[in-house]
Every structure is written in C-alpha cells, then in structure tokens.
Chains A and B, each alone.
Chain A
Amino acid sequence: MAQQHLEYLLHLADNALILGQRNAEWCGHGPILEEDLALANMSLDLVGQARLLYQHVATLKNDGGTEDKLAYFRDVPEFRNYTLLELPHSTALAATAANDRDYAATIVRNFLYSALMVPLWNKLQASEDAQLSAIAAKSLKEATYHLRHSRDWLMRLGDGTDESRARTQKALNHFMPYVQEFWTASDMETAAAEAGVGVDVSSLRDGFNALLDDALAEATLTRPAAGAYVTTGKHGLHSEHLGFVLAEMQSLARAHPEGVW
C-alpha cells in the first residue's frame, strides 16, 4: 500500500476529527439550545466519518494499530488536517479562552469546510479505493446537511443586525486566506489523484466558488481578496493552536494507554 494513499486517508480523517473536536467545544455552551444540539450532532457525524477512515487506514496498514492509536497517539507534526480547522472559534489570532468564542466564526468556518466537502465527497464516490468510495457516499449525505445548516445561519447572521453582520464579515475576512490551502495540492493529494484514489483539488474550485458566491450574495456579505500566503497544515506544519486541541483530546487516552471501553 502506497504511503501517500494512507496519508491521503489520514488527511481526510484528521480534517473530520479536528473540526469535530473543535465544534464539540460548544457542547453545553451553545448560544441557544437548538444550536448546542446541532453542533454536538454535527460533531458526532464528523467523528463518525473520522472513525471509518481511521479504521480503514488501520486495516490497510495491518500492523496491529487501531483507530484509537491513530487518533490519540500521534503528535502535531503527524496530523494532516487543514490549518483552518484547528483555529479557535474566534477572529483573534491568539484566542484560547472560552470567552473569546464567537458563533459567527463557527458558522463561517463550517460553511467553508462544507462547501469544500460536498463537491469532494461527491467526487470521491468514484474513488478506486472501494472502501473510501463507500465512506464518501455516506459522508456526502451528512456534509450536504451540514452545508444547509451553516448556509442558513450565514444568511441569518450576514443579513441580520449590524452587530451580527459585522462579526460575520470579520470572521470571513479572517478565515478566507486559509482557504488557499484547499487549492494548493500536496504530494499526497497529487499521488492519490493520479492513482484514482483521490481527486484533483483544482477541479473542486469552481463548485466551491459557486456555493460561496451564491451564499455571500444572499447573506449580503463581501468576499475578501484571497491572500498570497498558503498555510501548511496538511504537510504537518501547523499553527500553535493544534497542540492545545490535541492536549485536551488525547490526555485521557494517554493517561490510560491500555484502557478499553
């Protein structure tokens, strides 16, 4: 099994796990009860997708590893998620405290990720990797619903009060530069696409732009210019935030490394 095939699967799995973990921070702290439940449910979907992918990687590697080992016993440089997904729910670069969380940031990021994943899962249904194709068909149904949820809230916040509109625009300005990472293919993505396992990332761009521009127009928000800098999370070079996410997520499993449940 080609190493790059496995890394590509880990990239997809890590994306889902890290955003799932981030969004779960709202559990018990949501702005309203309905959104508390919505975010927890979407986190369950994302963690479920990550599990299926990690199980697949563990099966392919066939080295006695498990989904838990992949999720809990790898360190920051081994994670292959987009930098966008590990950032705090905030437009302040150094935010860590719960008080800094802004739901507008959550909604904007979920929209950007869902608008990428709907066309991506759609194409991955035709993957040469039959198990990935099966996971894609399932995940597409869930991603479509997540897109609908974040799109609805983008309308309500963007085309809402002056305050909600200003915060949402600020979140968009903050997160958009990170989207460049979607379109800059890494070696593993190129190799996976050539093997028929993955897809050419540039082929997703039009679909993403159509979803984004349509939603922004309806939400009366302005699309910021893309920056020149490209983040490198999927290469294992992360922001300082991922370490904190992993510390919280992995501490229990690492304190009881032989624990089973």
Chain B
Amino acid sequence: MVVPVLAPALPSGPIAEKQLADPYHAVWTLLEAVTDPEIPVVSLREMGILRSVREGADGLEVVITPTYSGCPAMSQMEDDVKAALAQAGVVARVVTRLAPAWSTDWMTQDAREKLRAYGIAPPPADGAASACGHGGSVTSVIQFATQKIAGYASPTVACPQCGSENTTEISHFGSTACKALYKCLDCLEPFDYFKHY
C-alpha cells in the first residue's frame, strides 16, 4: 500500500462551523457516526484520527492517522469508516497517513469532556503533560521511583469521578496501550487516564 507522507491542511475544529463550505461536508457528516471501537462515546473526528476527506486519483479518499503503532483497533476503524459510507452508497478508499504523527493534542475539547463523563481522565489539552510530580503524598500505596528525566514523570491527573487531584499512578499501562491506571486517594476509585501522546 502506498502511504503518502505529505501533510495538507488539517481540519481540527468542530465540523459544523469548519466544514460547511467544504464540498465533502456530507461525507464528514456521515462519518460523525463512526466512533472509536474501544471508546464508543467519541467519534474518530473528535479523536483527531480522521484527518481529511478528498478526491484522490481513484476517487474519494478518507485519510486517517493511526494512534499507537500496535493499536489493534486501527483496522476496525478502517472497516467502520468504509461501512458507514457504504451504507449511504458512498464508495471511498481509506488512506493511512503517518506524518505528522497523531497526538492527543488533536483531540477536541468535546472529546475530552466526553471521556471524563465516561470515567476516563482525558490527556492535558495543551500538551503540558510534562508538568510533573505525583499527585498524592500518601505512601501506603505503591509509588513509582523519583523521576529525574524531564518529561517522563507522572503528570498530575484529576479524578474523573470527584475531581480531586490527590491521585496516584498505579500502573503505566491500563486496559489498553493508550491508557494508564490511576487511583483517587480521596474517593478511592481507580480510573483510567488517557496518556498524553
């Protein structure tokens, strides 16, 4: 498969305002129904995975940028995009573009709020994940070693249940590669944190 690496203008904002003048507005609207297979409350557009809709050499092309290299949901997303369009009689090719690399900075604000409501603490919006230090000072739970390398420390993450920032990282990896496991030291609920990437 040919994987183009050029990066034309990337849509980022909500489609209602941003894409009305877009000749592919109808396609974007159809794709609004395609959600992340692992996190069904957010759409691929809100996740920043859906990058553009354009006319290619062989017809309509939908460009997606993969998240983690080994994310098993990627091929499912491709199938879901094709299925959603096919249902409306639209035939399109899905093109995977690697560069620029996907980043959690591309998630919309809506997506972050939906993640939080779903029980997953969202990544920081401004890429400030490296602001560091452990949230909790309680030492009765497993604490990771002191981090000296700038940018590698656990970020302070607010509990999606009670909002407290008195939380601690339990494990670098949670149910999927994109999440870490945290625990709130106030309401004691464990929760997933969508890591900054």
Q: Do these two chains interact? A: yes
Question: Which residues on A are within 8 Å of B, measured CB to CB?
Answer: 34-35, 37-38, 41-49, 51-52, 55-56, 59, 130-131, 133-135, 137-139, 141-142, 144-145, 147-149, 151-152, 155-156, 159, 211, 214, 218
Contacts of B152 in A (CB 8 A): 144, 147-148, 151
Instruction: Tell me whether chain A's interface is mostly helix, strand or loop, or mixed.
Output: helix
For B151, the closest partner residue in chain A by CB is: A144
- A34 to B181, Cβ gap below 8 A? yes
Question: Known interface pairs A130-B99, A152-B144. Does A45 touch B70 (Cβ–Cβ under 8 Å)?
Answer: yes
- Name the interface residues of B1-45: CB closer than 8 Å to any CB of A: 1-3, 5
The answer to whether B98 and A134 touch across the interface, beta carbons within 8 angstroms, is yes
Task: Determine whether B174 belongs to the interface, using a CB cutoff of 8 Å to chain A.
Answer: yes
B99 partner residues in chain A, CB cutoff 8 A = 130, 133-134, 137
| Interface SS, B side | loop
Taking a contact as CB atoms under 8 Å apart, the answer to whether A135 and B98 are in contact is: yes
A37 and B146 contact, Cβ closer than 8 Å, known pairs A137-B100, A137-B101, A141-B197: no
Count of chain B residues near A, Cβ 8 A: 34
Given contacts A49-B69, A131-B5, contact A151 B101 (CB under 8 A): no
* B170 and chain A: residue at smallest CB distance: A34
Distance between B197 CB and nearest chain A CB, rounded to angstroms: 6
User: Do A34 and B71 form a contact, CB below 8 Å, given A41-B176, A133-B99, A138-B101?
Assistant: no
Select A34's contact among B66, B102, B173, beta carbons within 8 Å: B173
How many angstroms from the CA of A214 to the CA of B68 in the assembled complex?
28
CA distance A211 to B150 in the complex (A): 12
Question: Which of A44, A134, A141, A159 is within 8 Å of B145, CB to CB?
Answer: A159
